[in-house]
Chains A and B, each alone.
Chain A
Amino acid sequence: MMARILLFGGIFVGALVQLFLPPLPVFGGIKPPVLAAFALYYALHRSPRGMWIAVFWAALLHDGLDLGGFGPALVGFPLIGILAHRVRLEIFVDGLVTQMMVGALGAMLAMFVAILLYTITGQRPFHFGYALLRMVGSGLLGLVVLPLVSWTMKKLESAIPKRRGYGWQ
């Protein structure tokens, strides 16, 4: 129960953090992919059910708070969630380098999906150079954000009291 509350609360706070972080003009105006990092964290550390809940909650918050139609995160986050969940038993999910690589690839894939959807639906103009800048930028930001999110969530989860058969201890 506490873990579920932490899941919803953590992603909610993550959305607020992403909302208030300034955009980075040097990376095409994108923001650090905090919500994508949360989706990846839960995909790497949870059962399929936990992963789906986290992924859809993060995507709903992302697209709900963004302008335009629902879509970029609702498609992108499940995709990176599924991929990360599939490989989680074959990689060191708590290793720093692994998290950096998964964070970078996940953020780049989510950005690619957003570029694709915005271009197909005509909501945003497509410029190759700008798209490339955003892809590279999201990769670099994902490299930093996922390890930070993982570290924070590990600390918070370790602070939750565990149930060990004799009630709460």
Chain B
Amino acid sequence: MNFRNKKLVYAAVAGLLLIVVFVLPAVLSRKGKGAVRGIVEPAERGTAGLGRRLSEAVSAIRGIGGAGEEKRDLSHELVRLQAELNKLREAEADNVRLRRAFKFQHQTPFSMIPCDVTSRNISGWWNSVRLGKGGAAGIEENHAVISPDGLVGKTTEVSTRFCEVLLICDPACRVSARIRGKEVFGLVRGAGTNLKGQPIARMDFIDKDAKILVGDEVITSGLSGEGGVFPKGVHIGYIVQTEKDRSGLYQNAQVAPSATVSLLDYVFVISDAPEEELP
């Protein structure tokens, strides 16, 4: 290849890359990613399964054999009970409001899809995990993902057999929230992780006159839109610090999300679809 041709090839490649990066429509980009993930998925699933079996084998050797399956069943039960408790708490609060206002509010029932976490994000740029179930199991985008500890995040980039979960500590994850027991609303968004790897989130746009205290519990308000399913009353975390917004119109708070993301093996996606059995 002579020098002139080489220059032309480099220019063509650079042009193509610029088109892919800046002009490629989201639909095409998603299809491309789906194809790549489809190629990697069997190996990824196999490696994740192998890792899980190894971890269970180590547990069995330590004398707590069968703990993995038992833990999974108990976690599922715990999440069900917590969801039930949240619904009852909300129902109680609703009842008080309804008695006062003589109105009835219908609360949408939801079901949960248990999913295995197959892998984490490849680059570390995004706080996300990949689940081993997707559109075929009834999962859609912007559905809440919970664990026994509380809200984990929301679904995004759903393919037929797998989906990505944007964790609550990712800056792109925004959830409408409120303080439990108070009529104080705000928007929780991720703030990454600290140097110890603990997730951080912030609650913004809180009424400047609202009285919020360190240790107050933050829960979902159920107002999150974007066409997703976000039940109200799901535990997010606790307030650890409060501050006035620079504009003086609002106050902000730092929230410590409770879901221990680094230890997640499986999670539950809130769905409208009928419930299914544990894998």
Q: Which A114-160 residues sit within 8 Å CB-CB of chain B? A: 114, 117-118, 121, 123-125, 130
Docked Cα-Cα span, A61 to B119, in Å, equals 14
Interfacial residues of chain A within 26-80, with CB under 8 A of chain B in the complex: 26, 28-31, 60-72, 74-75, 78
CB <8 Å contact, A65 and B13: no
Query: Which chain A residues lie closer than 8 Å to B128 at the CB level?
Result: 67
Alpha-carbon separation in the docked complex, A41 to B146 (Å):
42
Number of inter-chain CB pairs below 8 Å: 110
| A16:B43 contact, CB within 8 angstroms | yes
Q: Which of A1-40 contact B (CB under 8 A)?
A: 12, 15-16, 18-20, 22-26, 28-31
Residues of A within 8 Å of B124, CB to CB, are 23-24, 28-31
Q: Which residues of B contact A130 (CB under 8 A)?
A: 192
Chain B residues with CB under 8 Å of A124's CB are 125, 171
Determine if B157 and A67 form an interchain contact, defined as CB atoms under 8 angstroms apart.
yes
A75 to B40 alpha-carbon distance, docked (Å): 22
- Please give, as numbers and ranges, the residues of chain A lying within 8 Å of B127 by CB-CB distance: 29
Given contacts A16-B44, A60-B36, A124-B171, contact A70 B29 (CB under 8 A): yes
B197: Cβ under 8 A from any A Cβ: yes
When distances are taken between beta carbons in the complex, the residues of chain B under 8 Å from A75 are 17, 21
Q: How far is the CA of A18 from the CA of B51 in the complex (A)?
A: 15
Closest residue of chain B to A35 (Cβ to Cβ) is B122
- Evaluate contact between A70 and B21: CB separation under 8 angstroms: yes
B195 nearest CB across to chain A (Å): 5
**A117 CA to B47 CA, complexed, in Å:** 31
Q: Is the CB of A65 within 8 A of B122?
A: yes
- What is the interface of chain B mostly: helix, strand, loop, or mixed? mixed
The listed residue (A65, A74, A118, A125) touching B37 by CB distance below 8 A is A65
Cα of A98 to Cα of B51 in the assembled complex, Å: 35
Please tell me which one of the listed residues B48, B123, B166 contacts residue A62 in the complex, with CB atoms under 8 A apart: B123
Q: Whole-angstrom distance from the CB of A91 to the nearest CB of chain B?
A: 22
Is the Cβ of A114 less than 8 Å from the Cβ of B194?
no
By the criterion CB–CB under 8 Å, are B29 and A69 in contact? yes
Closest A residue, CB atoms, query B156? A67
Distance in angstroms from B44 CB to nearest chain A CB is: 7
A64 touches B35 (CB 8 A): yes
Q: Report the nearest A residue to B192, measured CB to CB.
A: A29
Tell whether, in the assembled complex, residue B125 and residue A65 are in contact, meaning their CB atoms are under 8 Å apart.
no
Q: Which residues of B contact A64 (CB under 8 A)?
A: 32-33, 35-37, 40
Distance of A8 from chain B, by nearest CB (Å): 11
Residues of B within 8 A of A25 (CB): 193-197
| CB<8 Å pairs between A and B, sample of 9 | A16-B47, A20-B47, A23-B121, A28-B124, A31-B122, A64-B35, A70-B29, A75-B21, A78-B13
A binding-site residues for B, Cβ under 8 Å: 12, 15-16, 18-20, 22-26, 28-31, 60-72, 74-75, 78, 114, 117-118, 121, 123-125, 130
* Interface set of B (CB-CB < 8 Å, partner A): 13, 17, 20-22, 24, 26, 29, 32-33, 35-37, 40, 43-44, 47-48, 51, 119-128, 156-157, 164, 166, 171-172, 192-197, 262
Q: Which 3 A-B pairs have the closest CB atoms?
A: A64-B36, A25-B197, A71-B21
